[in-house]
Structure 1
């Protein structure tokens, strides 16, 4: 495999072999999405170096430190999310390790402090300007009241959104949900892959009876053949027997596209983030919701709803699979505003509206 870097960067002989060996022996075995992310992140850095007239990484510690510093300054001025910037820097640090080059991201106290402070300022900006609009339980109930599904597509979309809310699921978690992961007796969902589950043991999330009913209705509709008015044969590739739950739907929205259930989870054709994003936008339009809700709105809104209902931080952590109380604490603070002193004052003085 060739080194996936922009053509304008000329890699010297001192580390070309080490990089090519890694990409030949290891990179090709990584998940395709991981490969694409690494390639994209490094090429973005290569393009920046070209535009800023920087030489890119080489054997000089000082040069690499300056390149990363200027890159961080540019990233923090961009609209990129905090986590995206962290991921890009992690990809650069990984590359420096692979190439056996001086790595100031790890070794320079000056650069580490510079990055930490720059990202801290960026995170404050992101929190104040770009937080996902919460899909609270009241807003979810409004969707379920207004959207009366009349196609397999809408049944799938409603079930997906409700499951994301119940389980506080991220987009990359819901696309991997399999039939075998749903325990109807315990109202539980096993989440096998999660950003906060580095050990890979899996986490259990709650699924409400109403969401289970939606899932059953969606799968029953998918397994029904309208042209013959009967159940699809068990060998029909458009039928859900096992494996991935949320699958692609035909253009007319009345049947699933053929799917290979024998494929492993890594090889199976799953929905992508763009598909989940369109689902949320489609349902919001059907429900007449003008707020800019996104796939992350369910996770945020569920956390806010839990806090408003009096859930403790440990309960919120368990519900969303967070490793630390920092994020649920943030959402709890957001919910507490409605119950704070000014909210009580407004109510007493008749300023709470109609």
Structure 2
């Protein structure tokens, strides 16, 4: 890893190369692999923002850096990103400013600190009041699979992705890094090599159903067939899936993958961003006429709730979702048990 990971922001490389390189060489490479990945991902998201807004990025001017971060916070708070994710991204930027020895308004500007605090508080209230994701339980998933009959590559990809997220109780940042070689069809096993609960980077195995495998096969077969020429794509065709990232970007018309280049980063990266996963869930929800507010986290929560509803033990739930402790699966188990509790029985007995 080197400062080149931050290349999309002009000033980062040309002016502050030495300070950034020194940190990467002496410290960054010794951090846990997932921590390194998270920092680079957050830096690149900021780089994309600067490019889209025609901003230079950080320099040695406090007013410039303050304005840049303020505008970034405004965009983040309008996005579907979680409160904790926004806080983490700002923390990563603050870390970089310290590494590059640049004026840091996140720490030293009273104006910016208050602006960020109020913006995040409003964002959290907004999400809690009207955008709580509901669990994608098995009955909702079956409704999706019955109602959505995919006739484009885009819909095949989206449907396979949602089913895989349910099976493996996957987070958005896990599903975007699934590679074709991570799927073991014989054992119905999926290797998840990135997880925020897996700081050692060892990876964990999750279950993948036969129906989801069939959906993935259909998606791959459709991607590898050139409809224009009416034959299968050549093995070296950059739009073909032979290996590597499974869920890739699709052309505007939804009938072909965009050319794949694993070496690229930023907007040309084959890895989907969270916003893309969010749109996939919304798009499929609309196609299936799902009234509930399902989001990328619905699959993980819904998978856990469905397991609890069908009698899975805490260790079984913990293994299925790759949790290090039984705390979260226990929470989802309580959620599933509400419908079987005393008040539920009382209401049923009296026809309420």
Q: 1:315-354 residue pairs with structure 2 within 5 A?
A: 315-351=316-352
- Please name the residue that 1:291 is paired with: 292
CA 238–50 in structure 1, closer or farther in 2 if over 3 Å, else same: closer
Secondary structure at the residue paired with 2:206? strand
Which deviates the most, 83-92 or 338-347? 83-92
Q: Give the Å deviation of 1:23.
A: 2.1
Q: Is residue 2:238 matched to residue 1:237?
A: yes
Could you tell me which runs of 5 or more consecutive residues in structure 1 were left unpaired when the two chains were aligned. 5-18, 52-78, 101-121
- Please name the residue that 2:261 is paired with: 260
Deviation string for 1:92-130 (max 9, x for gaps)? 885798599xxxxxxxxxxxxxxxxxxxxx999987876
Q: Give the Å deviation of 1:50.
A: 6.8
**Contact persistence 1:177–1:245 (CA under 8 A):** yes
- Please name the residue that 1:34 is paired with: 42
Q: Give the Å deviation of 1:249.
A: 1.0
Q: 1:194-273 residue pairs with structure 2 within 5 A?
A: 194-260=195-261, 263=263, 268-273=269-274
**Contact persistence 1:27–1:35 (CA under 8 A):** no
Q: Give the Å deviation of 1:35.
A: 2.1
Q: Give the Å deviation of 1:252.
A: 1.2
- Please name the residue that 1:23 is paired with: 20
CA 237–94 in structure 1, closer or farther in 2 if over 3 Å, else same: closer
**Contact persistence 1:176–1:265 (CA under 8 A):** no
Secondary structure at the residue paired with 1:246? coil
Secondary structure at the residue paired with 1:204? strand
Q: Give the Å deviation of 1:84.
A: 3.5
- Please name the residue that 1:185 is paired with: 186
Deviation string for 1:266-322 (max 9, x for gaps)? 995211111111111110110011211111111111111111111111111111111
CA 193–328 in structure 1, closer or farther in 2 if over 3 Å, else same: same
CA distance in 2, matches of 1:335, 1:287: 24
Deviation string for 1:44-78 (max 9, x for gaps)? xx88x979xxxxxxxxxxxxxxxxxxxxxxxxxxx
Q: 1:63-78 residue pairs with structure 2 within 5 A?
A: none
- Please name the residue that 2:146 is paired with: 145
Superposition TM-score, scaled by structure 1 size: 0.70
Counting matched residue pairs gives: 292
CA distance in 2, matches of 1:332, 1:83: 24
CA distance in 1, matches of 2:250, 2:89: 34
Larger radius of gyration: 1
**Contact persistence 2:42–2:89 (CA under 8 A):** no
Secondary structure at the residue paired with 1:259? coil
Q: Give the Å deviation of 1:131.
A: 3.9
CA distance in 2, matches of 1:92, 1:269: 24
